[in-house]
A and B are shown apart, each in its own frame.
Chain A
Amino acid sequence: MILKALLFLFAAFSPLLFIGFINKTKAWWAGRKGASVVQPYYDFTRLLRKGEVISKTTSFVFRCAPSVNIAAAFFALLFIPMPLIGSIVSFPGDVILFAYTLAAAKFLLVLAALDTGSSFEGMGASREVTFSTLIEMAFFIVLGTLALLTNQISFEAIFAMLTVSAGYSLLVKILLVASLFIMLLTEGSRVPVDDPATHLELTMIHEVMILDYSGPDLAFMVYAAAMKMMLIALLIANLCVPPYVSSITATVLFLGVLIVLSVAVGAVESFIARSRMSHVPQFIFLMTALSLTAFAVVAFFLRGGLS
Chain B
Amino acid sequence: MRSVLIGAALFSLGGLSALFVKEKFKSILFILFAALAQVCILPGVIQVLLSGGYLEMQLSFSEPIGVSFVRLDPLAALFALIISLGSFLAAVYSHGYMKMYSGESAELSSYFFFLGLMSSSMLLVVLVQNALLFLIVWELMSLASFFLVNYEHKKEDVRKASIYYLVAMQIGAAFLLAAFGWSSALTGSLDFNSFQSVVSSTGAYSVFIFILFFLGFGTKAGFVPLHTWLPKAHPAAPTGVSALMSGVMIKTGIYGILRILLLTGTPDVRLAYGVLIISIITGIYGIANAIAQTDLKKLLAFSSIENIGIIGMGIGVGMLGLVYNNPLITSLGFLGALLHTVNHFIFKSVLFYGAGIVYSQTHTRNIEKLGGLNNSLPLTSMMVLMSSLAISGVPILNGFVSEFAIYIGIAKSFSIDSIAVNIAALMGLSGLALIGAMALLCFTRLYGICFLGTPRSHVHSPSEEKIYSLLLPMAFLVVPMILIGIVPMLAISLVTSTVGLFLPGASTIVWLEIVSLMTTVSTSLAVFVLFIVFFLAVRKFLLRNKSVQVFKTWDCGYQQESSRVQYTGSSFAQPILQLVAELVPQKIQVHKDQVLFPVHASFESHAQDVSERVFIQPAVRLLNKFLNKFSWIQSGRMQQYILYGLLFLVALLLWIWSGK
Contact = CB atoms under 8 A, between A and B. Distances in A.
Please say whether the chains A and B touch (CB closer than 8 A): yes
B428 to A, nearest CB: 9
Given A126-B572, A211-B554, A299-B422, A52 B548 contact: yes
Contacts of A137: 430, 433-434, 437
Interface string A231-256: 00000000000000000000000000
Contacts of B454: 57, 117
A114 interface: yes
B567 A97 contact: no
Interface string B529-570: 001101110110011001111111111100000010111000
Given A64-B536, A75-B527, A114-B452, A136 B550 contact: no
B329 to A, nearest CB: 12
Interface residues of A, number: 81
A165 interface: no
A67 B574 contact: no
B528 A55 contact: no
Given A107-B394, A299-B423, A133 B448 contact: no
A138 B434 CA distance: 9
Contacts of B385: 61, 111
Nearest to B535: A67
Contacts of B575: 126-127, 130
Nearest to A52: B548
B546 A126 contact: no
Nearest to B399: A100
Interface string A143-182: 1100110010100000000000000000000000000000
Nearest to B572: A126
Given A103-B436, A220-B535, A51 B447 contact: no
B389 interface: yes
Contacts of A114: 444, 448-449, 452-453, 567, 572
A104 B395 contact: yes
A307 interface: no
A243 B375 CA distance: 54
A303 B420 CA distance: 12
B284 to A, nearest CB: 10
A220 B540 CA distance: 13
Contacts of B414: 144, 147-148, 151
Contact of B554 (A89, A139, A212): A212
Contacts of B432: 140
Interface in A96-113: 96-97, 99-101, 103-104, 106-107, 110-111, 113
Contact of A122 (B430, B441, B534, B567): B567
Contacts of A211: 554
B285 interface: no
A299 B553 contact: no
Interface string A189-227: 000000000000000000000011001110010000000
B571 A122 contact: yes
B524 interface: yes
B555 A153 contact: no
B517 interface: yes
B407 interface: yes
B393 interface: yes
B632 to A, nearest CB: 55
Contacts of B447: 111
A106 B556 CA distance: 25
B400 interface: yes
Contacts of A66: 539
Nearest to A61: B452
Contacts of A135: 437
B95 to A, nearest CB: 30
A117 B453 contact: yes
A133 B452 contact: no
Nearest to A50: B546
What does DSSP make chain A's interface, helix, strand, loop or mixed?
Answer: helix
Contacts of B520: 91
Quick one: which of B392, B404, B453 has the most chain A CB within 10 A? Answer: B453
B444 A107 contact: yes
Interface string B249-276: 0000000000000000000000000000
Nearest to B374: A59
B303 to A, nearest CB: 15
Interface string B442-479: 01110111001110000000000000000000000000
Contact of A106 (B438, B440, B443, B567): B440
Contact of A56 (B532, B536, B551): B551
Interface string A45-75: 0001011111111110100101110111011
Interface string B579-603: 1000000000000000000000000
Contact of B426 (A111, A134, A141, A304): A141
B194 to A, nearest CB: 41
Nearest to A299: B422
B539 A217 contact: yes
Contact of B425 (A56, A72, A144): A144
A70 B535 contact: yes
Contacts of B444: 107, 110-111, 114, 125, 129
Contacts of B372: 57, 117
B412 interface: yes
B515 interface: no
A300 interface: yes
Interface of A: 48, 50-59, 61, 64, 66-68, 70-72, 74-75, 78, 89, 91-94, 96-97, 99-101, 103-104, 106-107, 110-111, 113-120, 122-123, 125-127, 129-130, 132-141, 143-144, 147-148, 151, 153, 211-212, 215-217, 220, 281, 295, 299-300, 303-304
30 contacts: A50-B546, A51-B547, A54-B551, A55-B551, A55-B554, A59-B375, A61-B374, A64-B536, A67-B539, A91-B524, A93-B404, A104-B395, A104-B396, A114-B444, A114-B448, A114-B449, A114-B453, A114-B567, A118-B566, A126-B572, A133-B434, A136-B436, A137-B430, A137-B433, A143-B429, A144-B430, A147-B411, A216-B539, A299-B419, A299-B422
List of 5 A-B pairs having minimum Cβ-Cβ separation, nearest first: A122-B567, A114-B448, A51-B546, A140-B433, A117-B453
Interface of B: 371-372, 374-375, 385, 389, 392-396, 400, 403-404, 407-408, 411-412, 414-415, 417, 419, 422-423, 425-426, 429-430, 432-434, 436-438, 440-441, 443-445, 447-449, 452-454, 517, 520-521, 524, 527-528, 531-532, 534-536, 538-539, 542-543, 546-556, 563, 565-567, 571-576, 579
